Amino acid sequence: MGSLATWVLNKSKGSPAHIRRDFMKLVCSMPKLWTPEMEQAVHAQILRKLIPEADITIATQYDTALPVYLFGSGKLAYFMQHYEVVFANDSSDPDQTRKRAALSYKIGLNMMANSPWLLNQVKTAVPEANVMLTPSAIDHAVFNGTPKPIVPADHRKVTLISYGGRNVAWKGFKEMAEATAIARRELPDYQIEWHVYGTAALPPNNDIAPYKSLGFLQPSMLAEAYRASDILLSASWYESFPLFPAEAMACGLPVVTTQPGTEQYAIPGETAEVVAPQSPRSVADGLIRLIRDHEYRHRIAVAGWKETHKLTWDAAGDAMEANIRAIINGEQPS
């Protein structure tokens, strides 16, 4: 209350702009006032001041879609990097978040999606939407290597590597742990080590599948960790062009991964071992197949490594530029 009283007593001393600025600072400093609705209002006020005049204004997240629609200049666009409706339960107000995310696809912005899956999700939800594919890419200067040779038939040591997933359930860390535990039980003659980078939903010494924590890794160190491993294990419930499986593939690793979201580079049984999300049994079956079948593991690694050579920033940049020019010129997606 002291902060509020001080602000009320002194607010007459400033200009309207200063009063608004100080009021927003006050609201941000008081958790009881900083509601989702107030946060939206403050963001709108800030973005209205920040968005410059332009030939095209592009939103990059559902929270910025409405401000771009209201305050943007030139052509108005939305570069979507996930189907954000599915993340509503991660927020403090899931119902409102779900509605706002869904609304962002319906307000008439020219939309670009970073994966075929995301494009199809939005087109299914809003059939009349104008959506273009603008895929992502990986940094081949950092993430590179060559697939390992086929290991001898009696080789029994395998190192898995996984991303911990920031403690969010949809990254599938618990499913990965359960799948690793199944593989260890059903392949007792193999020594299966599991390395995890980033934060995870379970501690390293958990009762399901203990692992070695690599902590947070900078890109160059992450690439080294990939090259020192044998298999990338991923089990997200949904993604939209996740980079880490592709980066591991570029370093020469075979990958166990899920869909949706990886369709552009993870071709089931050809460039990756694609398993069902939210199914520890399916994830374990894919993992066991790669561990036991050394020739298949090598073949998947080579094909995946070749596939990632298509994921260049030159190609991604060309696609983004072509789509931006098409939007400015009022052209429809081909």
Instruction: Give the range of the structural domain holding residue 108, as residue numbers without chain letter.
Output: 35-133
Whether residues 122 and 202 share a domain: the answer is no
Give the SS3 label for residue 16.
Answer: helix
Residues 177 and 256 in one domain: yes
Q: Which of 262, 235, 265, 240 is nearest to 87 (CA)?
A: 240
3-state SS record for 19-72: HHHHHHHHHHCCCCCCCHHHHHHHHHHHHHHHCCCCCEEEECCHHHHHHHHHHC
- Helical (H) or strand (E) element with 288: helix 280-292
* CA–CA dist 267, 19 (Å, integer): 57
**Judgement on whether residues 162 and 100 belong to the same structural domain of the protein:** no
Q: In tens digits, what is the pLDDT along the chain, a chain of 334 residues?
A: 445 445 455 555 555 556 566 666 665 665 665 566 666 666 667 776 777 788 999 999 998 899 999 988 999 999 999 998 988 787 777 888 899 899 999 999 999 999 999 999 999 999 988 899 999 999 999 999 999 999 998 899 999 999 998 888 999 999 999 999 999 999 999 999 999 999 999 999 999 999 999 999 999 999 999 999 999 999 999 999 999 999 999 999 999 999 999 999 999 999 999 999 999 999 999 999 999 999 999 999 999 999 999 999 999 999 999 999 999 998 875 5
Query: What's the structural domain count of the chain?
Result: 2
164 and 238 assigned to the same domain: yes
Asked whether residue 262 is assigned to any structural domain, the reply reads: yes
pTM for the model stands at 0.84
Coil, strand, or helix at residue 188? coil
